Amino acid sequence: MAQQKTDVMEKLVSLSKRRGFVFQSSEIYGGTGSCWDYGPLGVELKQNIKRVWWRDFVQARADMVGIDASILMHPTVWKASGHLDHFTDPMVDCRACKLRFRADHVDAIPWVHYCAATKGNKFTIAGGEPCHHCEQRRTLCPACGKGELTPPRQFNLMFKTFMGPVEEDAAVAYLRPETAQAMFVNFENVLQSMRLKLPFGIAQVGRSFRNEITPGNFIFRTREFEQMEIEYFVNPHETVEGRPADEYWHDRWIADCLDWFRRYGLGEENIRLREHDPDELSHYSKRTVDIDFHYPIGWSELMGVANRTDFDLKQHAQWSGKSLTYFDEGRHEHVVPYVIEPAAGVDRALLAFMSDAYREEEVRGEKRVVLRFHPELAPIKVAVFPLVNRDGMPEIARKVEAGLRPYLNVFYDDSGAVGRRYRRMDEVGTPYCVTVDSQTLQDETVTVRDRDSMEQVRVPIAGLRAHVEERMGAWKRPV
C-alpha cells in the first residue's frame, strides 16, 4: 500500500524512540539541540551500513585502501583547504526574537503569519506558499511572524576549541568539518607505505562536526554526524575510453554509488541525480553531482560526488612545503593527481534506508508496521521463538539461538502470542522469524517465517543457518 510521506517522519521519530533506534541526546536534561543518540537497534543498523560500505568499496576493491585519522588536525590544514575562509553559510537574524536562519533555507520553512485580511489572525503557512486569505508572501521572521530579518552575513561552520591547557590564540584547533582533509595530508604516507599506482582511492569513515545554523529534521542535519568518504586519485594526463581520466572516473563513481544504494534497498522512484549549477559549486570543484533521496521532508541530498581536481594536494603542498606528487613511470614525470570524492553521510543514509523501508500494511484486517530493510542492514537477522513455554520447546529454542548467535544477530522472544511476536519483529525489520513448535519435537524442523511475504516454510534445524544465509543473499526489494 502506498504510504503518505507527510507524516512518515513523525512516525519514524516515534518508532525510533519506542524501539531503541534513536533517542534524543541528554533527554533527561531536556535534550541537546540537534544531537541524537543511537540506541541498541540503531547502533546495529548504523554499524551494518558502515560495514557493507567498507566491505564493498574498500575490501572488495584492489584499488582502494582505508585510513582512520584523528579528528583534531593541525590548524593550518583548514587554512590550506580553504575552510577558514570559505566554509561559511549565509545567516540572517530576526531583529525581534533573535532567532537565526540560513538565508538560503529560510523560504522553505513553515512561517507564522498574522493576516490583516482576517483581523490579524495567526496562521502557520507551508514554506514557500503565500497566505490563502491575503495572498501575501513571507517577508518577516518565519518563527515569530513579527521581526524583520537582517541582511545575510557569512557564518563559519567550524567548531573551535583549544589544544592543551591554555586558552590562547596559538592553541586554537578545530573539530574537522569533513573527513576528506586527512586523506590529502596522508597522501604521501599512504602512497609510499602501500606502494600504490594511480588510480587508487583512500577511504575513511568517521565523525565530522559543523555548527549548522539551522539543524533539524531529526538526524538529517545535525551538528555532529558521521561521514563515509572516498578520495579517489587519478592521473589527469591519462584518458580512459577516450575521455579525460577524471571525468571518466567521476561518472563511474556516481554510477557505483547509485547502484550501491539501490542494491541495499532504496527504490528507484526515491533516488535521483542532481547536477550542481556552476554558481553553486564549491571553491574546489570542477563538477559536483548529488545523489538526492526523497525523504519524508522532500527531495534532499543524500551524498555528493565531486571532482575536486588537484586543488587540495596543491594547496597542502604549498602550505606545508612538501611535495605531494605522483611519479608517472611511463611518462617520466611528476604529476599532481586529480581527486574524485564520493562523500556520503552515515546518518542521512540511515534515515534514507529507514524511511524507504517503512510500510504500513493491512493484514487480515489488522494494521502491520514493517521495516523492509535489506537483510544485511537489518539490526536483528533472526528472531527465535518457542511456540509455548513448555514441553521442552524453550530448551530447543535456546539451542537454536545459541547455534546461530556466533554468525548472525539473533533475538530470543518467548512472551505473548506468536502473532504479536511477529509484529514486534516486523516493526524493527527482522527478516526471519524461527518458531520451535510441537512438530520440532518429532522431526527436528522449525518454521521460518519471511518478514516481507509472511510465508512460512519448514526447515531442518541442522540446515537453518545455511537456509537463512542463502535467503539473505537472494533478497529482493519488495515492490
Instruction: Provide the binding-site residues for ligand ATP, judged by CB under 6 A.
Output: 178, 210, 212, 221-222, 225, 227, 301-304, 343-345, 347-348
Q: How far is the CB of 302 from ligand ATP (least distance, A)?
A: 6
Q: How far is the CB of 364 from ligand ATP (least distance, A)?
A: 40
Cβ closest to ligand ATP, residue 348 vs residue 421? 348
- What is the rounded CA–CA span in Å between residue 392 and residue 56? 43
Q: How far is the CB of 127 from ligand ATP (least distance, A)?
A: 16
Cβ closest to ligand ATP, residue 113 vs residue 210? 210
Cβ closest to ligand ATP, residue 222 vs residue 235? 222
Cβ closest to ligand ATP, residue 261 vs residue 475? 261
Cβ closest to ligand ATP, residue 288 vs residue 447? 288
Question: Which residue has the CB atom at the shortest distance from ligand ATP?
Answer: 345
Cβ closest to ligand ATP, residue 191 vs residue 302? 302
- The residues near 261 (Cβ < 8 Å, ≥ 6 apart) are 271, 291, 293, 302, 349, 352
The answer to whether the beta carbons of residues 382 and 411 sit under 8 Å apart is yes
DSSP-H helix ranges across 177-305:
180-185, 187-194, 245-263
Q: How far is the CB of 348 from ligand ATP (least distance, A)?
A: 4
Rounded to 5 degrees, φ, ψ at 419 are: -55, -40
Task: Retrieve residue 412's grid coordinates.
Answer: 530470543
Cβ closest to ligand ATP, residue 302 vs residue 380? 302
Q: How many CB atoms lie within 10 A of CB 155?
A: 17
- The CA angle 387-469-457, to the nearest 5 degrees, is 40
- Concatenate the DSSP letters of all residues of 211-233 into one string: --SS-BTTTTB-SEEEEEEEEEE
Tell me the CA distances in angstroms from 317 to 174, 194, 310, one per residue in order. Answer: 21, 21, 11
The answer to whether the beta carbons of residues 226 and 206 sit under 8 Å apart is yes
Q: How far is the CB of 347 from ligand ATP (least distance, A)?
A: 5
Cβ closest to ligand ATP, residue 354 vs residue 459? 354
Q: How far is the CB of 108 from ligand ATP (least distance, A)?
A: 12
Helix (H, G, I), strand (E, B) or coil at 271: strand
Cβ closest to ligand ATP, residue 95 vs residue 207? 207
Task: Retrieve residue 361's grid coordinates.
Answer: 500494511
- What is the rounded CA–CA span in Å between residue 234 and residue 337? 5
Q: How far is the CB of 307 from ligand ATP (least distance, A)?
A: 13
Q: How far is the CB of 301 from ligand ATP (least distance, A)?
A: 5
Rounded to 5 degrees, φ, ψ at 385 are: -125, 135
The answer to whether the beta carbons of residues 252 and 339 sit under 8 Å apart is no
Q: How far is the CB of 278 from ligand ATP (least distance, A)?
A: 16
